Chains A and B, each alone.
Chain A
Amino acid sequence: MLRADALQTIYPDIEDRIVVTIMGAVAAELYMLGHKEHFFYLEHAMGLASSMGLGIALSLPERKVVVLDGDGSLLMNLGTLSTMARYKPGNLLHIVFDNESLLSVGGFPTATSTGTDLAGIARASGVPNVAEVRTLEQLRASVHQALAGETLTTIIAKVEAVGPKTFHMDLGLLENRFQFARSLEAMKQQKN
């Protein structure tokens, strides 16, 4: 499974959701599918996209929050799984694209290439719903189920180590930050 295809497959399900992505290929590929004001691309601070997603999910319990994470990023902040599992926000969907590689910085293999099992770590951390998927159909079904339900879910999507030709995004970091905050504020107003 290619991550670009995976993102395209789930795009209709996540395009109206609050999304937080990691830096690099994931951000660029989602951006190329179509930017939304409620998408936030964390272009640094590796490992913290899931912590940001948790902060948003706890602050806006009536909105679904989707985090697009990666194996390299998650390995930098494994404690996040225990913290997410501790509070189990049912509005948080944590998707990890595992390409067994630090692709954006030269393709060096991560520990998942030598057997580290992120789905197993997520389960053992107490995440109540964990899936490991290898096909687009499995991914689509898992995302549907997670977004239809109210259970904290981590999906480990095994993908090939292939990225986009360019990581360029015509969106300033602060432009994204302020646009995103305004978009979330508007969502809160709609609710009231």
Chain B
Amino acid sequence: MPVSVAHSRLIYDALKACDVRVISALPETWLVHLIRLAEEDPAVTLVRLAKEEEGIGISAGAHLAGVNSALLMQNHGFLAAINPIVSLALLYKIPLLMLISYRGHFGEKDPWQTQGGLATEPILRALNIPIWHLNKPDEVAQRIKDAQTLAHASLHPVAVLLERELMWED
């Protein structure tokens, strides 16, 4: 599977440097190594979800309990979580560090991913959620830290889009 192990490790190390203790996730191809790293890490609680909207509640609970969390989701998972993002995270000023695998965009071969790919950024912008396109390995650590810093300062969700050139090797 040509998902980059080395870059997944870079992203995971960046989350650890941000003192992330709770990670919620639903498996998707680009996220498999990240999820395995979380699973093997005794210092992190990995919460495997049935649906992404639960992850917004879990991160809200963790934040109010003073624990840093991150959400690993495909962009279609982000789309599945819109109402909780609006009526929990935005309503109650809850910071969310969302790492979203950006499927269905330039280079996508799977037709079924493409509508979600086209909708992702317009919807993030409509929700006033800041976006960072993560595609350069040497930026990973700093940008994930920056994303968390902004989320905590603004008490607002932020989206780090994990892009094809970072996640995929073919």
Residue A121 is within 8 A (CB to CB) of chain B in the complex: no
What string of 1s and 0s marks CB contacts (under 8 Å) between A82-118 and chain B? 1100110000000000000000000000000000000
The one of A20, A79, A188 that contacts B66, using a Cβ cutoff of 8 Å:
A188
Residue B126 is within 8 A (CB to CB) of chain A in the complex: no
11 cross-chain CB contacts under 8 A? A20-B61, A45-B87, A48-B53, A48-B60, A52-B64, A55-B58, A55-B59, A55-B62, A86-B48, A181-B66, A184-B64
Number of interface residues of B (CB under 8 A): 31
Q: Which of B40-67 contact A (CB under 8 A)?
A: 45, 47-51, 53-67
A-B CB proximity, top 10 nearest: A55-B61, A51-B57, A79-B50, A48-B57, A55-B58, A59-B65, A44-B87, A45-B88, A56-B61, A59-B67
- Given contact pairs A45-B87, A56-B61, A174 touches B22 in the complex (Cβ within 8 A): no
Closest to B83 in A: A45
A-B contact count (CB 8 A): 108
What residues on A are CB-neighbors of B88 within 8 Å?
A: 42, 44-45, 48, 52
What string of 1s and 0s marks CB contacts (under 8 Å) between B67-103 and chain A? 1010000000000000110011001110000000000
Closest to A81 in B: B50
Residue B143 is within 8 A (CB to CB) of chain A in the complex: no
Q: Report the Cα distance A87→B24, complex, angstroms.
A: 12
Closest to B87 in A: A44
Report whether B61 and A54 are in contact in the complex, using a CB–CB cutoff of 8 Å: yes
Report whether B64 and A40 are in contact in the complex, using a CB–CB cutoff of 8 Å: yes
The one of B47, B56, B64, B92 that contacts A56, using a Cβ cutoff of 8 Å:
B64
Residue B16 is within 8 A (CB to CB) of chain A in the complex: no
Report whether A54 and B93 are in contact in the complex, using a CB–CB cutoff of 8 Å: no
Q: Report the Cα distance A56→B59, complex, angstroms.
A: 9
Q: Report the Cα distance A94→B93, complex, angstroms.
A: 25
Q: Report the Cα distance A55→B60, complex, angstroms.
A: 7
What residues on B are CB-neighbors of A54 within 8 Å?
A: 47, 54, 57-58, 61
Q: Report the Cα distance A173→B88, complex, angstroms.
A: 11
What residues on A are CB-neighbors of B145 within 8 Å?
A: none
Residue A153 is within 8 A (CB to CB) of chain B in the complex: no
The one of A49, A82, A83, A177 that contacts B64, using a Cβ cutoff of 8 Å:
A177
Report whether A79 and B49 are in contact in the complex, using a CB–CB cutoff of 8 Å: yes
Shortest CB-to-CB span from B13 to chain A, Å, is 22
Q: Which of A133-178 contact B (CB under 8 A)?
A: 173-174, 177
Shortest CB-to-CB span from A125 to chain B, Å, is 10
| Most B CB within 10 A of own CB, among A44, A45, A49, A58 | A45
Q: Report the Cα distance A133→B148, complex, angstroms.
A: 44
What residues on B are CB-neighbors of A87 within 8 Å?
A: 45, 47
The one of A52, A79, A86, A173 that contacts B60, using a Cβ cutoff of 8 Å:
A52
What string of 1s and 0s marks CB contacts (under 8 Å) between A54-79 and chain B? 11111110000000000000000101
What residues on A are CB-neighbors of B62 within 8 Å?
A: 55-56, 58-59
Residue B105 is within 8 A (CB to CB) of chain A in the complex: no
What residues on A are CB-neighbors of B69 within 8 Å?
A: 55
Q: Report the Cα distance A74→B64, complex, angstroms.
A: 22
Closest to B92 in A: A177
